[in-house]
Amino acid sequence: MNKVLLRVEGLRTFFFTRKGVVKAVDGVSFYVREGETFGLVGESACGKTVTALSILRLLPEPAGQIVGGKIILDGTNLLELHKNEMRKYRGKVISMILQDPMTSLNPVYTVGDQIAESVRLHQGLHDEKVEEEVISALRLLKIPSPEVIMRDYPFQLSGGMRQRAVGAIAMSCHPRLLIADEPTTALDATIQAQYIALFKDIQKKTNVAIMFITHDFGVVANMCHRVGVMYAGKIIETATTREIFKAPKHPYTSALMNSVPRLDQKGERLYSIKGQPPSLRDLPPGCRFFPRCPVAEDICHQQEPSEVEISQGHFVSCWRVK
Amino acid sequence: MATTKVIDWDKVKSGTRQKRIFSNLTFIIPSAVLLFLILTAIFAPLLAPYPYDQISMPDRLMPPFFISGGTTAHLLGTDNIGRDVLSRVIYGAQISLSISLIVIAITSSIGTVVGIISGYTGGRTDAFLMRVTDISLAFPPILVALLLAATLGPGYWTVVLAISLLGWAPYARLIRGEALKLREADFVAQARIIGASPMRIMVRHIFPNIINPLIIMVTLSVGMVILTEAILSYLGAGIPPPAASWGNMVNDGRNLIDSAWWISFFPGLAIGFVVMAGNFLGDWLRDKLDPKLRQI
Amino acid sequence: MADVLLEGRDLTKHYPITKGLLQRIVGWVRAVDGISFTIERGKTLSLVGESGAGKTTTAKAVLLQEKLTSGTIFFEGKDLSHFSPSQLKTEYRPRLGSVQQNPWSSMDPRMKVRDIIAEPLVVNTKQTKQQIRSRVPELLEQVGLSAEHAENYPHEFSGGQRQRIAVARAMALNPSLVVLDEPVSALDVSIRAQIMNLLKDLQEQYNLSYLVIAHNLATVRYMSHTVAIMYLGQIMEYGEAEELFERPLHPYTKALISASLLTLPEDEDKGVKKIILSGEMPSPLNPPSGCRFHTRCTEAVPECGQTIPPLRDVGGGHKVACNKA
């Protein structure tokens, strides 16, 4: 078993707005091992992106504040670091890939220049060495003819290539943790398959730990070793990928899976979860999924369930699961 | 698990509150100034202590009341033929603000229509209209106004015509840009799919969605127009005497700046206030109406 | 005999590329290159493919938003090119509805919901304001919203609710055919099921035909009766949804299915291999010779690069354009 690289404990991130406090992340705990991919699954506004931004301490201030918890990377609590020390981590130890490559890449600089910027910033190398690193980053992402591509501008590349360029920038300084926020959502199915296969390969080569944020269970199945399902700012179930597909325990997890059509299943009527995710500003008491839960009981309305480990490595927060 | 950061809520909340108060002030003060001036213009006959053209040679060149030699009978002093400066500034508001309103009404209407048609229709219509706009923008506005005044003789409507003749072009430019963006919007494509005519789309879909930049431009124009009128009057091509416009008052006092500075100063101050108020308000609106936030 | 509502025959759309002062034509973007399909009354045809395949262009042609370079569209057996503009306005357009992908930009933010839904009626019928206003509550209720929502603005609703409003608008004229361009891909996963179920219910209730553009195969399988797999402007495989997904014949279809299937770790243990295509879809400016897919095909043989294989019927309406099938 690989050792644990990142451990998040009780993370709470709130946004202070004119209309009230938005509890975007409210007590989230999980861990990611080296060489492993942890998937953070959930729908929009469940808090997954805010979790990622909290780890990198890149929240929009002053509205966004981390109000509690620990983020321990290889023994160091990132939340106790000074701003300048934290900056050294970004790009070098922790890297992030976002969904839209078009806005992640600067249109007026070549791809090579953008990778080089990261390399120079963190490794302080001389020019020839920098070029070597750039080419090796491009090769890692299996970009053909790297010497040519590095002189290209983003608009000259196709969508898939751009996403790889973004990946090259992220991996150029050999980070230990890569956070990927919905990187495949905008990609076509066959390109997505390529991309996932590529990252699995990269992970084998570099032993990087990956935190993969997505709403797509298909991607989770393909890419992740372990999964955390988020709803309304909390992780309601954590398990290995095998476990979560074989035996999902939280009603939201199973409802979500049943509402997604599967290509290998004939068209039975899809289950649709009634209602909508709650506003994170005025949360009802009790379990956050209560208003939409098909199997809710009275206690669900009164008290928030605590996390229970029902089998090795499988955690659930639900009153119905003992 | 202990918390790792102690957040000073009050500091965070007061910080944002301070920003909000500041933002509100940059709206309240300019609006109050403009409102005050508009009311002054409307109620001029009631507010002005004297008629604007009352000549009184014995009282000429009296300084404002707070300077030795002045009296409270003429709070801001008198000009070189004894007319009360305060009254003329008050009546001047009527002329300056009314010209401003009329000119803006004309230029924004023409400019918006040209801009929307040009931007939405595209093709040859767009090319033609833009060339006309470019030509308008190429002419120096003051020179054209002077020419017009020389040809038609100075007067209220000459000034209006002079400023409007070229004043619509910047609006056309701006609105065309907005219309171009909107042309590609999904909801406009939807209207086309439904079978809506170009006219309907321009009126019902494009126009309501360009109101925001239009309002901002209108607000910023108020100061510009008043300034232009003042320049024209200063150059002798504006409102002729005995009418009081801030511009021709500044002109009247031009040669007496070192001895009777108040004749030019107070109308000049009024111009300054309006221009600043218009600019501040326009900037505030531009920030408030950021497309990512709500609209009016 | 199948009741065909709309038929497309050899539809082609090429965009010219011009260069220079005199605008000489130097090339063509072959967005759609000779596709044929039929949509039956009360049934759904899905055009599936990745971006650049030509599906949106085809949908736009059906909606009269693009002029075809060649090919014919038949509506209820009649050739659309023989319709005069006023006939199109009175006999074709009112029979269509359209739902776009992005519920945030497909509605005028300045209009109330009631006006948004009523607009097709205002533009296409001579009904009075009263009559139109009275239609709006029923349309809203039909899509699961309440009549009071008519007075609100789009930004006051969630993505799923907006898409419902879009459906209500599409239904305003009692259409026979609704064109849906990626109707659920911009929505949250748990909301998609709500909208897909709504669409299926409406189809049954009103015997609606749907032309769906989609790239998510699972959604397509759930919603469709007939499927056309498109690649670079041509149809690679065409047939009944069940048949096509159970017995895919074209290598591209197989690759798409492989990419879309949920493969769990245990499947990998069992040796279920994923088909990973190399490279990306070439540009429609310069499509490959012969079969357009041959450059990425794992089963290609030399002749695939020479002649374009025709779309052959292999039985029961299942058609495939492949030398190896």
Q: Check if the beta carbon of residue B149 is closer than 8 Å to that of residue B92.
A: no
Do A218 and C262 count as a contact with CB atoms less than 8 A apart?
yes
d(CA A91, CA A121): 9
Q: Give CA separation, A311 vs A19, A255, A308, C13, C265, in Å.
A: 41, 21, 9, 58, 19
For residue B145, the surrounding DSSP H or E stretch is helix B141-152
What is the predicted pLDDT for the residue at B9? Answer: 60
**Residue (of A173, A317, A180) closest to A249 by Cα position:** A317
- Give the single-character DSSP code of B68: T
Cβ neighbours of A232 in C, within 8 Å: none
Residue C313 domain-assigned (yes or no): no
Task: Please compute, for residue C266, the number of CA atoms within 13 A of its CA located in the half-sphere on the CB side.
Answer: 7
**Residue (of B289, B268, B251, B245) closest to B100 by Cα position:** B245
For residue A180, the surrounding DSSP H or E stretch is strand A177-181
Q: Check if the beta carbon of residue A46 is closer than 8 Å to that of residue A87.
A: no
d(CA B37, CA B42): 9
CATH topology of domain A4-93+177-184+198-316: Rossmann fold (3.40.50)
Cβ neighbours of A70 in B, within 8 Å: 1, 4
Enumerate neighbours of A (3 or more CB pairs within 8 A).
B, C
Report the residue of chain A nearest C161, measured CA to CA: A276
pLDDT in tens, B109-124: 999 999 999 999 999 9
- CATH code, domain with C10: 3.40.50.300
Residue C311 domain-assigned (yes or no): no
Q: Check if the beta carbon of residue C205 is closer than 8 Å to that of residue C174.
A: no
**Residue (of B127, B72, B94, B96) closest to B231 by Cα position:** B96
Provide CB contacts within 8 A for C11, sequence distance 6+.
Answer: C32, C34, C35, C36, C58, C61, C68, C70, C71, C72, C73
**Residue (of B232, B216, B223) closest to B273 by Cα position:** B223
**Segment-wise mean pLDDT, segments of 10 residues, chain C, 325 residues:** 88 89 84 94 94 90 94 94 92 94 93 94 90 92 92 91 96 96 89 93 96 91 94 94 92 90 72 79 86 88 87 90 84
What is the predicted pLDDT for the residue at C175? Answer: 96
Structural domain total, chain C: 1
| CA A204, chain centre distance (Å) | 19
pLDDT in tens, chain A (322 residues): 789 999 999 999 999 887 788 999 999 999 999 999 999 999 888 899 999 999 999 988 778 889 999 999 999 999 999 988 898 888 889 999 988 888 889 999 999 999 998 888 887 777 888 999 999 999 999 998 999 999 999 999 988 888 999 999 999 989 999 999 998 887 888 888 889 999 999 999 999 999 999 988 889 998 999 999 999 999 999 999 999 998 899 999 999 888 888 887 776 788 888 888 888 888 888 899 998 898 888 888 888 898 889 888 899 999 988 6
What is the predicted pLDDT for the residue at B2? Answer: 38
d(CA B271, CA B247): 8
Nearest Cβ partner for A242 among C261, C264, C281: C264
Q: Check if the beta carbon of residue B263 is closer than 8 Å to that of residue B253.
A: yes
Task: Please compute, for residue B150, the number of CA atoms within 13 A of its CA located in the half-sphere on the CB side.
Answer: 7
Residue C212 domain-assigned (yes or no): yes
**Residue (of A94, A105, A104, A221) closest to A154 by Cα position:** A105
Q: Check if the beta carbon of residue B210 is closer than 8 Å to that of residue B178.
A: yes
d(CA B260, CA B264): 8
What is the predicted pLDDT for the residue at B155? Answer: 85
Residue C233 domain-assigned (yes or no): yes
pLDDT in tens, B260-271: 898 999 999 998
What is the predicted pLDDT for the residue at B295? Answer: 40
Q: C interface mutation test: which of A37, A184, A263, A264 has the most C CBs within 10 A?
A: A263
Residue C284 domain-assigned (yes or no): no
Residue B11's pLDDT band (boundaries 50, 70, 90)?
A: low
**Residue (of C39, C31, C37) closest to C8 by Cα position:** C37
d(CA A17, CA A281): 9
Do A197 and C276 count as a contact with CB atoms less than 8 A apart?
yes
**Which phi-psi region, left, alpha or beta, contains residue A264 (left: φ > 0; alpha: ψ -120 to 50)?**
alpha
pLDDT in tens, A81-120: 998 889 888 888 999 998 888 888 999 999 999 999 888 8
**Residue (of C37, C60, C33) closest to C228 by Cα position:** C37
A94-97 vs A76-77, strand pairing mode: unpaired
Do C93 and B190 count as a contact with CB atoms less than 8 A apart?
no
| CA A93, chain centre distance (Å) | 16
What is the predicted pLDDT for the residue at C235? Answer: 94
Residue with tokens 């249109």: A107
Cβ neighbours of A16 in B, within 8 Å: 9, 12-13, 16
Report the residue of chain C nearest B185, measured CA to CA: C105
Residue B13's pLDDT band (boundaries 50, 70, 90)?
A: low
Do C63 and B193 count as a contact with CB atoms less than 8 A apart?
yes
Count of H helices and E strands in chain B? 12, 0
CATH topology of domain B77-288: MetI-like fold (1.10.3720)
- Give the single-character DSSP code of A90: B
Do A65 and B7 count as a contact with CB atoms less than 8 A apart?
yes
Report the residue of chain B nearest C89, measured CA to CA: B195
d(CA A73, CA A85): 13
Model ipTM value: 0.87
Provide CB contacts within 8 A for C177, sequence distance 6+.
Answer: C5, C6, C39, C62, C95, C96, C97, C208, C209, C210, C211
What is the predicted pLDDT for the residue at C18? Answer: 85
What is the predicted pLDDT for the residue at A18? Answer: 77
What is the predicted pLDDT for the residue at B12? Answer: 62
d(CA C228, CA C243): 12
Enumerate neighbours of C (3 or more CB pairs within 8 A).
A, B
Report the residue of chain A nearest B3, measured CA to CA: A68
Domain membership of residue C177 as a residue range: 4-18+28-247
**Residue (of C6, C29, C55) closest to C234 by Cα position:** C55
